[in-house]
Structure 1
Amino acid sequence: MKKILTNKNILMYSIYIHEATAHKTPQRFNKHNCFLCCMMILFFVLLNSCKKIVQVDTPPDSITEKNVYTNDRTAASVLTYIYVDMRSQGADMAKFTGLLGDEFTLWSGADFNLQAYYNNNLSSSMSMDTGKEIWNLYYKFVFTCNGAIEGLIASNSLSPNVKKQLLGEAYILRAWYYFYLVNLYGDLPLVVGTDPAINSKLHRSSRKAVYELIISDLLRAQELLNPAFVNGQLNPGTQERVRPTVWAAKAMLARVYLYTGEFDKAELAAGEVIANNTYFNLVGYEDIFLKNSREAIWQIQPTEVGWNSTDARLFNLSAIPTGVNAGKPVYFSDFLLAAFEPNDERRSQWVSSFTEGADTYYFPVKYKIAEENGTVNSPETLTEYAMMLRLGEQYLIRSEARARQNKLGLAISDLDMIRNRAKLPLIAVTNPSISQSDLLNTIFHERQVELFTEWGNRWFDLKRFGKVDEVMSVVTPVKGGGWENTDELLPIPYSDLVTDPNLTQNGGY
Structure 2
Amino acid sequence: MKKLIYSVATILLFAQCSEFLDKAPLDSPSDKTFLANETEIEMAVVGCYTDLWTDWEGMPFFLAFEELSDNGWDRNTNDVQRLSQGANDAQSSFVQTVWRTCYSGISRCNYLINNLAKVEGTVSADVLSQAKAEAQFLRAYYYSYLVDLYGDVPLVLETLTLENAQIPRSSKEEVLNQIFKDYDEAAAVLGTTDKPTSGRATRQAALALKARTALYSEKWDVAIAAASEVMKMEGSEVMLDPSFPNLFTYEGQDSKEILFSIQYLFGFKVHPIFRLFGGRNGGGHANKIPSYQLVDSYGCIDGLPIDESPLYDPAKPWDNRDPRLAWTLALPSSGYSDWQNEPGCIFQGFQFETHRDSVKCWNYHTPTPSRVDNQDALNAYASFSGINWRKYVNDKNYGDVNNCDNNIIVIRYAEVLLIYAEAKVRAGQTDASVYTALNKVRSRVGMPNIEETGDELLYAIARERRHELSGEGQRLSDIRRWKIAEDVMNGFILGRMQKSYPTKAPVIDEWGTPDYAAAGIPIASDVNDPNTSMRTVDRRIFNPNKDYLWPIPYIERQTNPSLTQNPNWE
Range class of TM-score, shorter chain? 0.7 to 0.9
Please say if residues 491 and 541 of structure 2, whose CA atoms lie closer than 8 Å, have aligned partners that are also in contact.
no
TM-aligned CA deviation for residue 364 of structure 1: 2.2
TM-aligned CA deviation for residue 279 of structure 1: 1.4
Matches for 1:86-97 after TM superposition, within 5 Å? 86-87=52-53, 89=55, 91-97=59-65
User: 2:548 is matched with which residue?
Assistant: 488
TM-score (norm 2): 0.68
Matches for 1:319-334 after TM superposition, within 5 Å? 321-324=283-286, 329-334=287-292
The secondary structure found in structure 1 opposite 2:441 is helix
How many Å separate the matches in 1 of 2:405 and 2:60?
Answer: 20
TM-aligned CA deviation for residue 310 of structure 1: 5.2
Q: Does 1:288 align with 2:247?
A: yes
TM-aligned CA deviation for residue 457 of structure 1: 1.2
Please say if residues 275 and 283 of structure 2, whose CA atoms lie closer than 8 Å, have aligned partners that are also in contact.
no
User: 2:337 is matched with which residue?
Assistant: none
Q: 1:387 aligns with which of 396, 400, 409?
A: 409
TM-aligned CA deviation for residue 422 of structure 1: 2.4
TM-aligned CA deviation for residue 469 of structure 1: 1.8
CA offset digits 1:2-56 (Å, max 9, x no partner): xxxxxxxxxxxxxxxxxxxxxxxxxxxxxxxxxxxxxxxxxxxxxxxxxxxxxxx
Please say if residues 291 and 383 of structure 1, whose CA atoms lie closer than 8 Å, have aligned partners that are also in contact.
no
CA offset digits 1:379-428 (Å, max 9, x no partner): xx99832212211111101111221223143212211111112222211x
Please say if residues 79 and 170 of structure 1, whose CA atoms lie closer than 8 Å, have aligned partners that are also in contact.
yes
Q: What is the identity percentage for the equivalent residue pairs of Structure 1 and Structure 2?
A: 27
User: 1:508 is matched with which residue?
Assistant: 568
Q: 1:217 aligns with which of 182, 198, 205?
A: 182
Query: What code does the residue aligned with 2:81 have?
Result: Q
Q: 1:119 aligns with which of 64, 68, 85?
A: 85
User: 1:278 is matched with which residue?
Assistant: 236
Q: Which moved more, 1:456-465 or 1:63-72?
A: 63-72
The secondary structure found in structure 2 opposite 1:388 is strand
Please say if residues 55 and 61 of structure 2, whose CA atoms lie closer than 8 Å, have aligned partners that are also in contact.
yes
The secondary structure found in structure 1 opposite 2:101 is helix
* Higher RCO, Cα 8 Å, sep 6+: 1
TM-aligned CA deviation for residue 267 of structure 1: 2.0
Q: 2:144 aligns with which of 136, 158, 179?
A: 179
TM-aligned CA deviation for residue 77 of structure 1: 1.9
CA offset digits 1:356-378 (Å, max 9, x no partner): 23565322222232766999xxx
Please say if residues 290 and 388 of structure 2, whose CA atoms lie closer than 8 Å, have aligned partners that are also in contact.
yes
How many Å separate the matches in 1 of 2:30 and 2:456?
Answer: 51
The secondary structure found in structure 1 opposite 2:440 is helix
Please say if residues 328 and 470 of structure 2, whose CA atoms lie closer than 8 Å, have aligned partners that are also in contact.
no
The secondary structure found in structure 2 opposite 1:70 is coil
User: 2:424 is matched with which residue?
Assistant: 402
Query: What code does the residue aligned with 2:406 have?
Result: E
Unaligned runs of 5+ in 2: 1-23, 301-320, 332-351, 355-375, 494-524, 526-535
CA offset digits 1:174-224 (Å, max 9, x no partner): 000010111111111112111224652111111111111111111111122
In structure 2, relative to structure 1, the CA distance for the partners of 1:394 and 1:198 (3 Å cut) is farther
Query: What code does the residue aligned with 1:415 have?
Result: L
The secondary structure found in structure 2 opposite 1:280 is coil
Larger Rg computed on CA atoms: 2
Q: Does 1:98 align with 2:56?
A: no
TM-aligned CA deviation for residue 306 of structure 1: 8.3
Query: What code does the residue aligned with 2:377 have?
Result: G
Query: What code does the residue aligned with 1:437 have?
Result: D
How many Å separate the matches in 1 of 2:421 and 2:96?
Answer: 34
How many Å separate the matches in 1 of 2:387 and 2:117?
Answer: 49
Q: Which moved more, 1:206-215 or 1:146-155?
A: 146-155
User: 1:246 is matched with which residue?
Assistant: 203
CA offset digits 1:71-124 (Å, max 9, x no partner): 2222212232343542465944344322221121232xx234233123132212
User: 2:497 is matched with which residue?
Assistant: none
TM-aligned CA deviation for residue 170 of structure 1: 0.3
How many Å separate the matches in 1 of 2:563 and 2:549?
Answer: 15
Query: What code does the residue aligned with 2:245 have?
Result: E
TM-aligned CA deviation for residue 475 of structure 1: 5.0
In structure 2, relative to structure 1, the CA distance for the partners of 1:288 and 1:399 (3 Å cut) is same
Unaligned runs of 5+ in 1: 1-59, 230-237, 376-380
Matches for 1:189-268 after TM superposition, within 5 Å? 189-197=154-162, 199-229=164-194, 240-268=197-225
Please say if residues 308 and 385 of structure 1, whose CA atoms lie closer than 8 Å, have aligned partners that are also in contact.
no
Matches for 1:370-385 after TM superposition, within 5 Å? 384-385=406-407
For these two proteins, the number of residue pairs brought into alignment is: 423
Please say if residues 164 and 224 of structure 1, whose CA atoms lie closer than 8 Å, have aligned partners that are also in contact.
yes
